[in-house]
Amino acid sequence: MTSAFWVLEGMDGCGKTTQAENLVAALEADGRQPLHLREPGSTGLGEGLRAMLLDKKRADWDPRSEALMFFAARNQLLRELVAPALAAGHDVVCERFTPSTLAYQGQTPELRQWVLELDRLVVAKQRPDCVFILDLAAEDSFARVGGDVGHDSFEARGVSFQQKVREGYLSYAQAFPQASKVIAVAQRSIEDIAQEILAVTQDRRS
């Protein structure tokens, strides 16, 4: 039984956690033992960096500094959890990965190249089998997470920032069409979205 590495991505409020849980449940129903992770997080280092990065009261940092922190958490996640799980034959379902860093910290051509170089150094060959990008309009994302009283430092940056985030995700999908799947989520049921994800993963689950 071949293991697989699946990533759920998208705007805040798009339903990543719900769909990750649905995929994990489907894998378990298939008799598999998936590992459900989140970024940044799931390790001691990752959770510590998560608390710092998402603190709404923190100062604004240079995007490069933020990217380095995200990749430090990602490196630990890959080495401590992802690689051992895949080697042992377990599937991995992860909420967020490099596409998030590109979308949030890579909003200029120069920053995008910076993030891609970090990805080359840190992620190397440990790449997801597929990245599911749950596409949601910036205005809908902003509203779903509480509007002007967003819950974390990124959610509180406003609609214009969130629009750039969405553009970053769609640009990633265009650049890596073989390793990503864009799924529109507006006006669709949770069950309908889950079925589309399961259809993509079917070959690796059978």
Model confidence pLDDT, tens digit, residues 183-203: 999 889 999 999 999 999 988
Half-sphere exposure of 32 (CA within 13 A, CB side): 25
206 pLDDT band (50/70/90 cuts)? low
CB 119 within 8 A of CB 175: no
Half-sphere exposure of 194 (CA within 13 A, CB side): 15
Q: What is the pLDDT of residues 40-54, one digit of tens each?
A: 999 999 999 999 999
Instruction: Confirm whether pTM is higher than 0.85.
Output: yes
112 pLDDT band (50/70/90 cuts)? very high
- What percent of the chain clears pLDDT 90, i.e. is strictly above it? 78
Instruction: Give the burial class of 109: count Cβ atoms within 10 A of its Cβ; 0-12 exposed, 13-18 middle, 19 or more buried.
Output: exposed
CB 152 within 8 A of CB 13: no
Domains, the chain, ranges and CATH? 5-205 (3.40.50.300)
